[in-house]
């Protein structure tokens, strides 16, 4: 008999590890927050991701994924709201990168300080921003439902406990991975403070990626 109603746990661990390591808007935002705001800012963003993912897991376990499939209009609304939010973040990052590049070209101390402020402005309230990024992703709810259900024994009397354990495992892996990104981001912050043009280029790259994430979500379908 499977412990706590879990089926094929080794496969779940491997699959979750691969999923966690795949680059996405959440991990990229945490890395950027740590680079701009330091370790404390990175962990505030990470907490937003943890809370958002926990909410999505609960919704998936509660059957909200089925509701999204039953009412395509709701899926479309969430999809476009999430895509617009990701695009808005991307445009803010691009704007900050442009201002940083212009300030570094002037080679004025006050201009460099302004550039740093512009780059940090896009990451104000990192917990809230990371939380919204996580929640405005209907595909994540559908994914959690499709993924989790494969490793839960439907005959087990307490499937809620099974889902909770699977969620705890996923959150633990996510915490370890995001912690690694936060430490890396904090080291990048020191380099950014000395090399404004490098900061501008990487900020622009991050903005472009967020625009890409938004476009990908906008073209997502229920299938």
Per-residue pLDDT of the chain (223 residues; tens, 9 = 90+): 467 778 888 888 988 888 788 778 888 889 888 887 889 989 999 999 999 989 888 887 776 656 666 667 766 776 787 678 777 777 876 776 677 666 655 543 444 344 444 444 444 689 998 998 888 877 677 777 677 777 878 777 777 788 888 889 999 999 999 999 999 888 776 665 555 555 566 666 767 776 776 777 677 665 5
Q: Rounded to whole angstroms, what are the CA distances from 74 to 59, 81, 149?
A: 14, 11, 22
- How many whole angstroms separate alpha carbon 152 and alpha carbon 3? 10
Are 222 and 142 within 8 A, CB to CB? yes
pLDDT at 198: 55
pLDDT at 131: 92
Q: Can you tell me which residue has the tokens 């995001």?
A: 178
Q: Rounded to whole angstroms, what are the CA distances from 139 to 145, 163, 221?
A: 10, 18, 8
Instruction: Give every CB contact of residue 22 below 8 A, 6+ residues apart in sequence.
Output: none
- How many whole angstroms separate alpha carbon 167 and alpha carbon 54? 7
CB atoms within 10 A of CB 1: 6
Taking the domains of the chain in order of start, what are their residue ranges? 3-218
Are 32 and 123 within 8 A, CB to CB? yes
Q: Rounded to whole angstroms, what are the CA distances from 184 to 14, 125, 181?
A: 24, 20, 5
pLDDT at 119: 45
Q: Rounded to whole angstroms, what are the CA distances from 200 to 59, 194, 213?
A: 38, 12, 20
pLDDT at 109: 41
CB atoms within 10 A of CB 219: 9
Which of 32, 12, 20, 26 lies closest to 213, judged by CA? 26
pLDDT at 108: 39
Q: pTM of the predicted model, to two decimals?
A: 0.69
Displacement of CA 113 from its chain's centroid (Å): 28
Instruction: Give every CB contact of residue 121 below 8 A, 6+ residues apart in sequence.
Output: 92, 96
CB atoms within 10 A of CB 27: 20
3-state secondary structure of 71: coil
Structural tokens at position 198 = 């490098």
pLDDT at 76: 76
């Amino acid at each position: 008999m499977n412990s706590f109603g879990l089926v094929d746990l080794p496969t779940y661990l491997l699959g979750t590890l691969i999923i966690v390591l795949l680059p996405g808007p959440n991990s990229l935002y945490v890395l950027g927050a740590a680079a701009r705001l330091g370790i404390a800012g990175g962990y505030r963003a990470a907490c937003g991701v943890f809370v958002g993912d926990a909410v999505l897991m609960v919704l998936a376990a509660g059957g909200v994924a089925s509701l999204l499939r039953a009412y395509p209009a709701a899926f479309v609304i969430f999809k476009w709201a999430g895509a617009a939010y990701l695009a808005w973040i991307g445009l803010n990052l691009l704007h900050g990168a442009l201002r940083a590049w212009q300030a570094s070209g002037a080679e004025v101390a006050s201009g460099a300080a302004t550039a740093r402020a512009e780059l940090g402005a896009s990451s104000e309230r990192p917990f809230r921003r990371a939380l919204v990024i996580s929640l405005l992703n209907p595909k994540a709810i559908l994914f959690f439902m499709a993924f989790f259900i494969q490793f839960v024994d439907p005959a087990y009397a307490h499937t809620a406990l099974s889902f909770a354990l699977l969620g705890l495992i996923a959150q633990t892996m996510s915490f370890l991975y995001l912690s690694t990104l936060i430490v890396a981001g904090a080291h990048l912050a020191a380099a950014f403070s000395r090399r404004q043009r490098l900061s501008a280029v990487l900020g622009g790259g991050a903005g472009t990626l967020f625009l890409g994430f938004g476009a990908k979500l906008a073209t997502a379908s229920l299938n």
